[in-house]
Amino acid sequence: MSGLEALILGLVQGLTEFLPVSSSGHLVIVKSLFGIESKDASFEIIVHIATVLSTIVVFRKQVWEMVADTVRFRKTPATGLTLRILFSALPVLVVGLLFKERVEVLFTTGTGIMGWMLLLTALLLGLSQWLSVSRQKTGTTHPVRYADAFIIGVAQACAVMPGLSRSGATIATGLTLGVEKDKVAPFSFLMVLIPVLGEAFLEILAGGFAPAATGLSFQAMAIGFVTAFVTGLLACRLMLALVRKIRLTWFAVYCLLAGTACLLFL
């Protein structure tokens, strides 16, 4: 992998991890368009860890409070958030343990399924935009409850499908359930820390991280990591601002166009 290819993929990962347009789907699409080949999961692990670090930096205060209060068994809002995030991870844990190989096969079946999942993302974003605006007007919103956390976790588990945006599915589900707009995006971004780090750890244990054996240079890894981290910081902050203003329509339009293009031309 060249430095330019690493730059492009790092940019795509950093932007699309937080914007509701499917990072996994866009990585596959960009690789297909530019003819980029990955011999193992080494590069994907690097850029995913970079966006996890972006999340931790943006939410460093909340993460510190969650860790500090939880390990000290303090009954605080931060501990409650930790428990809700752990609860939300149960569905994706089940999917990862029982259906991991079947899901991985879907990423090798071409871009057709990604096109359909991008269209589904567009539908979810459009529906949640309409419902959340109505709820904000009537004042029928609430913080993240345990039931909400589990249902949002189910949405995250479904988003292992290539092309179905994880952030799009979880934010749209939260808004549809009536979760407060100021709470839903932070919860969506924090809840992904567990499955992403868990998946990276399992890939490393399974031998999926072998950059030297596959010829992935340190330069390419460094470029991909830094690019994904910096763009991830920007995209995360941008998405937080957009969700507060409930402006998801343009992402729905983009996913509609991207999904249609996948089905027609790729």
3 state SS for 131-152? HHHHHHHHCCCECCCHHHHHHH
Choice among 33-42, 115-124, 154-163, 236-245 with the minimum mean pLDDT: 33-42
Question: CA-to-CA distance for 154 and 159, rounded, in angstroms?
Answer: 9
pLDDT score recorded for residue 225: 94
For range 30-51, the mean pLDDT: 81
pLDDT for position 28: 78
Gap between the Cα atoms of 157 and 88, Å rounded = 9
Sign of CA dihedral 144, 145, 146, 148: negative
Q: Which pLDDT tens digit goes with each residue over 170-196?
A: 999 998 898 888 899 999 999 989 888
Q: What is the pTM of this model?
A: 0.87
Decide which of 3 and 150 is more confident: 150
Mean pLDDT of the chain: 86
| Token pair 């068994």: residue | 73
Tokens 């003819």 locate to 35
Nearest to 26 by CA among 43, 4, 9: 9
Q: What is the DSSP string of 33-65?
A: HHT---SSSHHHHHHHHHHHHHHHHHTHHHHHH
Task: Tell me which amino acid residue 37 is.
Answer: E
CB under 8 Å to 185, separation ≥6 — which residues? Answer: 171, 239, 240, 243, 244
Confidence of residue 11 (pLDDT cuts 50, 70, 90): very high
Confidence of residue 109 (pLDDT cuts 50, 70, 90): low
* pLDDT given for residue 208 in this prediction: 67
| Cα angle 54, 107, 18; round to 5 | 20
How far is Cα 44 from Cα 159, in angstroms, rounded to an integer? 17
Confidence of residue 115 (pLDDT cuts 50, 70, 90): confident
